[in-house]
Chains A and B, each alone.
Chain A
Amino acid sequence: MAAPQSQSAQHGGPARRGPAARLLGLVLGFGALAALALVVAPNLARALDIEEGHAFLVDSGIEAGAFYYTQVERVALSESYVRSAQRTAVAARAAAL
């Protein structure tokens, strides 16, 4: 038995075009992605005048593309700093009262 596939998986791309046109589309598509990654993204910061901030992030190595806290190293350190601030704030408040 074959693995189940969704309807979209079965569409298999635009079959009406010829093989050469489809291959050209693939090359252009990958070319566009490479251009976006290697040309547009680096230069966009300059164009938008946020080069300094962008350079800071490049240099800092912060995982800005990570979508969950376990993928970002700095969150662990922030956690201990904030825990300490919270602990001392509560202690100081209790002493003041």
Chain B
Amino acid sequence: MSDTGENIVKDYPKTHGPGLLKHEDYWAIWLGALLLIAGLAIFLPNEPKDMRSIIEASSATIQAEEARAPFRSLAWHDANDKKERLRARDVGFAKTVGTYLQGPKSWSGNPAEAFVLGEEAAKAKAEAAKEKHDKAKEKLAAAHAKAKEAEAAAAAAEFKDSQANDAARAAIGEWRKARESESKAKSAAGAKPYNIVGSLTVLCVGMGLLFAVGAGFMGWSVPKFLLAFPVIFVLATLAYLLAAQANIKAWGLEYVLWAILLGLVISNTIGTPAWLKPAVQVEYYIKTGLVLLGASILFGKIVIIGLPGIFVTWVVTPIVLICTFWFGQRFLKMESKTLNITVSADMSVSGVSAAIATAAACRAKKEELTLAVGMSVLFTAIMIFAMPAFIKAVGMHHVLGGAWMGGTIDATGAVVAAGALLSDTAMHVAATIKMIQNIMIGVIAFGVAAYWATRVERTPGVDLSASAALQEIWRRFPRFILGFIGASVVFSILYGAMGNDVGKAMIDQGVIRGWTTGLQGWFFCLAFVSIGLATDFRELGHLFKGGKPLTLYVVGQTFNLILTLAMAYVMFFVAFPWVTERLMGN
């Protein structure tokens, strides 16, 4: 890979003196660290009221109920719901902060409703939803009574009658569904007016100033950057708007796709205006977003589903990644190794997020990232519907089907959607498998960066033994990856030290979901708008020559489907069938 200026990462920053303030890699780390520290300062002092006593009481109930009943009882759900409601992002100042990070709201017919809902319109919406809510409340009450009765019958038989247990499990499942419907109907019936134009403006100014600080230190023209930034922000908002349309959302067509397309339309028709180019900064946005993404890579979550989860994700995924990359080099003779590894990671790990991290780690061209993301989004939209339909058609066990989908469908949202189309059990298994796979991104990015530094880009003739190897790695290693991994390590330690329940409320449902996820989404959106604005269609056509990337994706995904299914079968039905039995109790 040459340093022609078309890569995600262009050069090798100095590690001392002024270099620390002159390079995007370091500014990604400084800005990422600043935002993470700010997040911790905002969220950690805001504990939900009575958090620790609620956790203590709920945990005791959950433990007792798990020992008493072979399924999750009504009391178990009540206690778990109490714990799930503990979210630092819903408390005081943290909640206010969260409102400033939100993008356009979900809409179906009128795009203006994504930004503004007037008082009259809100009232009309609430009144229209009232009847539905009343009916949902009645259904919920009836379902609860039925579940209570079924559970009492199972308890009367001391939970030894499998028919009574199954009946109770089914009735409780129906109650949960009724509860979810009621909750949705309630929020529709309680529709309130909103106007997010003000908060979007504040967000635009805030992000513009944040990036302008680094831009100033790096010697760019700050006024020119600040003049162009709002336009990039508006395009990013438009991308979010399109992705928030209800039908688009159900297809799993992510905002990154719309961001690229909007940028591409502009750059390939009227051309990207010269005055806009100072804010077209792919690397700056993407690397800062990746440092924030690092905070959500919590290593403690790997063991959630025990060895079956580890084997289906952490064993299968690297095998598929390495084999697909090898296939691309050996048989397809891919001209670009960076395109090969980006598509391979995108397909085998977790779609867009893995593609971004890998492309940045190996210094892929932005057109290569665009191609990988485009294929991922397209195949994901197909697999959301095709996989559950196939699993239903062949009568596959839902734990197996869930694990299969979780390990193979690229995007997490699409995995949850596909799982929900099958059953709740499939959805829970699929979502958990995907989450464990998501956590692999850090290791993959680190591994790819190290491989590129030592194998692909090493200076010919350099002896890679002992200290020379370390020096070579250090010289070529993308520095922002250190910020990415550092954020992951710090947040994993914090989460672990707090314990799962407090960690979930304060870190996962606090700093991460209430702060870093929102910011990181915006940064990636700005990056993909910039990619579109800086990409020539002809470059994409050149990369696609001979259909090699498509062949790579299809062959790799086919191998992924076969290996994941085989491993999931072995893990859930041969090695650990007793885990499967309990998962079916979900």
Contacts and interface: CB of A to CB of B under 8 A. Distances in A.
Q: Are A and B genuine complex partners?
A: yes
A47 interface: no
Interface residues of B, number: 110
A50 to B, nearest CB: 5
B557 to A, nearest CB: 17
**Consensus secondary structure, chain B interface:** helix
A65 B253 contact: yes
B182 interface: no
A44 to B, nearest CB: 8
A39 to B, nearest CB: 10
Contacts of A74: 416, 420, 427, 431
B194 interface: no
**Consensus secondary structure, chain A interface:** helix
B512 interface: yes
Given A26-B265, A57-B417, A42 B581 contact: no
Contact of B413 (A32, A63, A83): A63
B509 A26 contact: no
Contact of A66 (B108, B254, B277): B254
A8 B270 contact: no
Taking each of B184, B255, B536, which has the highest tally of chain A beta carbons within 10 Å of its own beta carbon?
A: B536
A60 B479 CA distance: 41
Taking each of B62, B434, B534, which has the highest tally of chain A beta carbons within 10 Å of its own beta carbon?
A: B534
Interface residues of A, number: 71
B467 interface: no
B113 to A, nearest CB: 14
Nearest to B257: A65
Interface of B: 4-6, 10, 62, 66-67, 72, 76, 80, 83-84, 106, 108, 184, 215, 218-221, 224-225, 242-243, 245-256, 258, 261-262, 265-274, 277-282, 293, 296, 301, 304-306, 350-353, 366-367, 384-385, 388-389, 410-414, 416-417, 420-421, 427-429, 431-432, 434-435, 438, 500, 504, 508-509, 512-513, 516-517, 521, 533-536, 539, 576, 578-579, 581-583, 585-586
Interface of A: 1-15, 22-23, 25-26, 28-30, 32-33, 37-38, 41-42, 44-45, 48, 50, 53-54, 56-58, 60-72, 74-93, 96
